[in-house]
């Protein structure tokens, strides 16, 4: 009976460890005023070893591209599109196409025109993270970036 208890406990412990939620991407945010009426927002993804997230420029039929949606507000306006650094581009068998992605860390930048003294820019970002064995379901993350 004691052996059955130890076996059951070990089995439950291993199931619990293998079913932990994977969270290989951490997001952080910052803003820097470049003048009295303009600022740059920085949206940084820190990506776990062996994982990658995709560029904003992915052709149809591929993985979910990273995207940013900023809430409309009267105290700021977006200037241009969200910028990203040069991505790694490789053929991925699972999608049967070339895809562009980022490993380790990537900083996206969005320029904004400000009409208020203290502004809080809110929005939603969406991304998908994969490694050589699997892709996790797409994630949607809300963000709020103070600009003072």
- In tens digits, the chain (148 residues) has pLDDT values of 444 333 333 333 333 344 457 899 999 999 999 999 999 999 999 999 999 999 999 999 999 999 999 999 999 999 999 999 999 999 998 899 999 999 999 999 999 999 988 899 999 999 999 999 999 999 999 999 999 8
| pLDDT score of 98 | 95
Q: Which domains are assigned to the chain?
A: 23-147 (2.60.40.1250)
Distance CA 18, CA 33 (A): 45
Residue 21 CA, chain-centre distance (Å), reads 16
| Among candidate residues 72, 62, 67, the one with its CA nearest the CA of residue 84 | 67
Residue 93 has what DSSP assignment? T
Structure tokens at 20: 């932990």
């Amino acid at each position: 009976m004691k052996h059955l208890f130890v076996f059951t406990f070990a089995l439950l412990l291993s199931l619990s460890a293998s079913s932990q939620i994977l969270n290989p991407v951490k997001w952080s945010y910052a803003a820097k005023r470049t003048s009295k009426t303009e600022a740059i927002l920085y949206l940084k993804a820190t990506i776990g070893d062996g994982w990658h997230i995709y560029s904003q420029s992915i052709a149809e039929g591929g993985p979910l591209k990273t995207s940013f949606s900023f809430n409309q507000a009267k105290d700021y306006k977006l200037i241009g599109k969200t910028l990203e650094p040069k991505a790694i581009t490789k053929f991925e068998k699972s999608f049967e196409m070339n895809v562009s992605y980022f490993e380790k860390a990537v900083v996206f930048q969005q320029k904004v025109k400000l009409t208020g003294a203290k502004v809080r820019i809110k929005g939603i970002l969406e991304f998908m993270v994969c490694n050589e064995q699997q892709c996790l379901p797409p994630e949607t993350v809300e963000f709020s970036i103070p600009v003072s």
